[in-house]
Structures are given as C-alpha cells and as structure tokens.
Amino acid sequence: MASDQTRTAILAAAERLYADRGFADVTLRDIVAEANVNLAAVNYHFGSKDELIAELFVTRSIATNRERLHKLRAAEEKGGGRADIDEILRALVGPTLRGCLGPENQRSTAARFMIRASIESVPPIRRIKNREIDHLRKFAAAMRRALPDRDEVEIFWGLHFALAMAHHTIRESERLTKLSDGKCDLDDVEVIIERVVSVAVAGLRGAETQRSNTTTAPRRTAPLLR
Amino acid sequence: MASDQTRTAILAAAERLYADRGFADVTLRDIVAEANVNLAAVNYHFGSKDELIAELFVTRSIATNRERLHKLRAAEEKGGGRADIDEILRALVGPTLRGCLGPENQRSTAARFMIRASIESVPPIRRIKNREIDHLRKFAAAMRRALPDRDEVEIFWGLHFALAMAHHTIRESERLTKLSDGKCDLDDVEVIIERVVSVAVAGLRGAETQRSNTTTAPRRTAPLLR
DNA sequence: GTCTATAGAATGATAGAC
DNA sequence: GTCTATCATTCTATAGAC
C-alpha cells in the first residue's frame, strides 16, 4: 500500500513542523516538501489542511483520554467504587501534564505538538476540544461519589479549576520560568502534578467549611491568611 | 482631521467584527467594507493586519493593567505598605474578570473582543501577552510583602494559579456552563472573583503548612479530604 | 499627509490526466 | 493513488491622485 506510506509521511512531517515552528508559520507546501510528496496528496488523504491538523490532534488526545480513564477506573476499583478525591484529580491532570512537560530537551515531537496545540489553539483544535464534555462528566461523577456531601456546584468548580491550573501551566510554562527567574522548577512533572492536585483539593476543602449548607456563593472573606 | 475618522472607523469596525465572528473568519476586506474605507487604508494607518489586531488588544490591555495597578496601590496604601494577600489577588484577577464576564447580553464590544483574544490567541496577541512579565512582577513583589515568611517559589506558583483560574474561566465559560448543566452561575462576576481568590489563598495557605522550611516540592499527600 | 486603484506574491483547494 | 496545472482568495506593497 503506497497510499499508507504517503499518508503516514504527511502526518509525521506535519507533526514535526508544527511542533518546531507553530501552526501560523507552516504551510501545506512546507509539509509536502518535508514529506517528499505532492501538494495535492494532502487534500486527497485528509480533505483539507484543517482536517489534517484535526487528525493529528485527535490521535494524541485519544491516547491521553484513554490513560486518564484507565487511571480513574483503577482508582475507583482500588477504593471499591469510590476513589479518593486526590486520586481522581491526579488521574485527570496527570496524563496531560506528563505528556507535555518535563525537561525540554527530552520532549518528544508529540509532546511539543501538543504544547503548540495548547498555546496556539487554531480552529480545528478548538472544535475537537469542545467535544470533550462527555469525557469530563465521568470525572465529575467520580468526584461526586468521592465527596457525596459536597454541593454539586462545588464539584464542577473544583474540576474546572484543576484543569485551569494544569492547562495554564502548560501554556505559560515559559512565562512562569521567566517571572520566577528560573526558581520554579518546571522539569519535575510529578511535583507539579502534586502541586496542582493539592491546590485543587484545598479549594474543595474550603468550599465545605465556608459554603456548604448555606448558599452556592463564596462569602466575601476577611483576610484568610497573613 | 479626516485621517482620524478613517483610522477610528477601521478600529471600530475591526473590533466589532472580531468580537462577533472571531479572528479566523474576518478578512481585511470584511473590515474595510464594514468601515466604508479603502483596503489600502489599513496598511497605511497600521502597517499590517497583525499590527491592527495588536493595537486593538494593546488599547484594552493597558486599561485593564492600569486598573489592576490602581487597585493594588490602593490596597497597599490602606495597609500602610503591606496589603492583605486576598486584596492583592482581587486586584490581579478582578479587573480582567469584570472586563470579560457578566451577563452575555450586557457585554460590550470590547468585552467580547477580549474574550475572543483569550480564546483564539492569534500571534500578534501572544506577542503582547509575552511582554506582561514586568507588570506581573509588581504583584509578585506585593505578595511577598504580604507573606514575608512564605517561600518565594510558593508566591510565584500562587500568582500563576490565580491567573490560571481567571483566564481559564474566561476561555472556558461556555464549557463550564454546559458541563454543569447551567448550575455554575457565570453571570455574577463578583462571586466568581471571590471564588478564584479564595482557592488561590487556600493553595497558598496549604503551601505553608505542608511545605515551608523543608523543600520546594509539595509532599505526595495522603488523602487530604474525604 | 491622506487616500484610491491596482498589481504582486503566497496560500489552500480542485479538476482532470495518468 | 498520484501528479500537473490552475483557480480563487488573501495579505501586502506601491504608484499616483487629491
């Protein structure tokens, strides 16, 4: 099958070029030159430039989501149907962070591609991300099982904030390094995961002491900390 | 000054179209048609499409940053040179969130434009965001004055996570609404600000009890919460 | 200085030959 | 399945009118 060779060559070349130079700088002509195939082959195999990008991103996303769910199930089985909240959050943010962070010189092409996808967020990639809700619902459900007394709204905010910290760390790792003058270590992924999980859990804990059984709104707080 | 009319018409038309339809769908030809000016006027007044986008974004950013710093100074003066940590974080995330969130039908063109800028992050906008570090350093410095015992690294992570939650809430407000089936109220901005601030503060508080005087790494924690 | 008309260069997409 | 040739659209650049 010569077709598959061409297809694969295009995928590999595109992922490498996008990872190296970003989406804005890479044209179809750059990709076909790198893959040593004809310009029209991209449209034949993928339909359009956007669908090529979508296929690259979907492939990597599916792998990450599969790993997330696998870890979620393992955690729930270990706890007999109810996992600890920090285990659930670790299953949520761990695979994503491990797939994108770590020492810069050790990052695979796939990792660098996913970082670009996170930072530049072109239309085809946004469209795919918007379909992730069903996937996230499974984590929300697990979190509710872990914290049956917590208000449902707090669960959603906790999930949302955990993802916020994980994705923002991927998107802005360079800025955080500069801001902290290199003092924030972005190479040790496991430590970062624990950091994200512990802040998310602390937020959920605060939700109980401050908000449960009253209203869904956080109180306007006096200085919580000196 | 006829020049100013043309220039202003382009800026207004561009902001409106980008706000309504996003960066990917709007061409220079769309903008000049909406503004009733000639195509070449864009290049004459702004140099390029990217510089037009940059000018739109810079104008709004400067206003937000000015408000942030104003609130930061007010908080520090009130405390005699040392503000409460939650006041600092409120000055950091408040103006941004107030500028972008709130009831959808009440959002100004400027607000909708800034939401697009957050979600789509085209190259000219990314370039400007990368220059924000000096601005953020002022908040890091104020946080250090507020929490002189806290490890410097924890300050940077706290600042980083607060921004993460604020920006992710702007970027993904639609997804959070869908995920929570409308139960998370994204219209009451003040409540959201308090929520972001309280989680960020809870994370910083955790940093003291768990991590200070030992290592920069968070411990791998046993279940923190049931 | 300000604006218009127009040409140039590059890109993604496609029709049709092989 | 592959390739050549070509098209329509886009941003950019410039010459010259006002």
- Can you give the pLDDT at residue A214? 44
The CATH code that applies to domain B51-214 is 1.10.357.10
pLDDT band at B213 (very low <50, low <70, confident <90, very high): very low
Quick one: three-class SS letters along B29-80? HHHHHHHCCCHHHHHHHHCCHHHHHHHHHHHHHHHHHHHHHHHHHHHHHHCC
Mutate to test the interface with A, among B18, B165, B175, B209 (most CBs of A within 10 A): B165
Residue whose tokens read 């700088």: A25
pLDDT band at B97 (very low <50, low <70, confident <90, very high): very high
Contact A96, A167 (CB under 8 A): yes
pLDDT band at B197 (very low <50, low <70, confident <90, very high): very high
Q: What percent of chain B has pLDDT over 70?
A: 91
- Reply yes or no on whether the pLDDT at B211 is more than 90: no
What is the rounded average pLDDT of the residues A207-225?
54
- Can you give the pLDDT at residue B214? 44
Q: How many CA atoms lie within 13 A of B104 on its CB side?
A: 8
- Can you give the pLDDT at residue B64? 98
pLDDT band at A93 (very low <50, low <70, confident <90, very high): very high
- Reply yes or no on whether the pLDDT at A212 is more than 50: no
What is the rounded average pLDDT of the residues A30-43?
98
Binding-face residues of B in 137-196 toward A, CB within 8 A: 137, 140, 146-147, 152-153, 156-157, 159-161, 163-165, 167-169, 172, 175-176, 178-180, 183-185, 188, 191, 194-196
Task: Name the CA dihedral angle for A192, A197, A203, A206, rounded to a multiple of 10 degrees.
Answer: -120
Residue from the list A133, A169, A175 with its beta carbon closest to the beta carbon of B179: A133
Contact A58, A128 (CB under 8 A): yes
| CA–CA dist B36, B17 (Å, integer) | 14
The Cα angle at residue B205 between residues B200 and B208, in degrees rounded to 5: 135
- Reply yes or no on whether the pLDDT at A70 is more than 50: yes
Q: What percent of chain B has pLDDT over 90?
A: 88
pLDDT tens, residue by residue, A124-160: 999 999 999 999 999 999 999 999 999 999 999 999 9
**Which token pair is A48?**
């359009």
- Can you give the pLDDT at residue A210? 57
Specify the range with the lowest mean pLDDT, choosing from B117-121, B206-210, B213-217: B213-217
pLDDT band at B80 (very low <50, low <70, confident <90, very high): very high
* B93: Cα separation from own chain's centroid: 7
Select the more confidently predicted residue: B205 or A16.
Answer: A16
Across A182-193, b (16+ Cβ under 10 Å) vs e yields: eebebeebbbbb
Specify the range with the lowest mean pLDDT, choosing from A133-147, A199-213, B34-48: A199-213
The CATH code that applies to domain B1-47 is 1.10.10.60
pLDDT tens, residue by residue, B150-186: 999 999 999 999 999 999 999 999 999 999 999 999 9
> Among B218, B216, B214, which Cα is nearest to A199's?
B218
The H-or-E segment that residue A127 falls in is helix A123-129
Does the distance separating the beta carbons of A153 and B183 come in below 8 Å?
A: yes
Q: What percent of chain A has pLDDT over 70?
A: 91
pLDDT band at A207 (very low <50, low <70, confident <90, very high): confident
| CA–CA dist A51, A49 (Å, integer) | 5
- Can you give the pLDDT at residue A4? 87
B48 touches strand C (CB under 7 A): no
A11 touches strand D (CB under 7 A): no
Q: Which of residues 37-56 of B touch strand D (CB under 7 A)?
A: 39-40, 42-44, 47-50
Domain boundaries, chain B: 1-47, 51-214
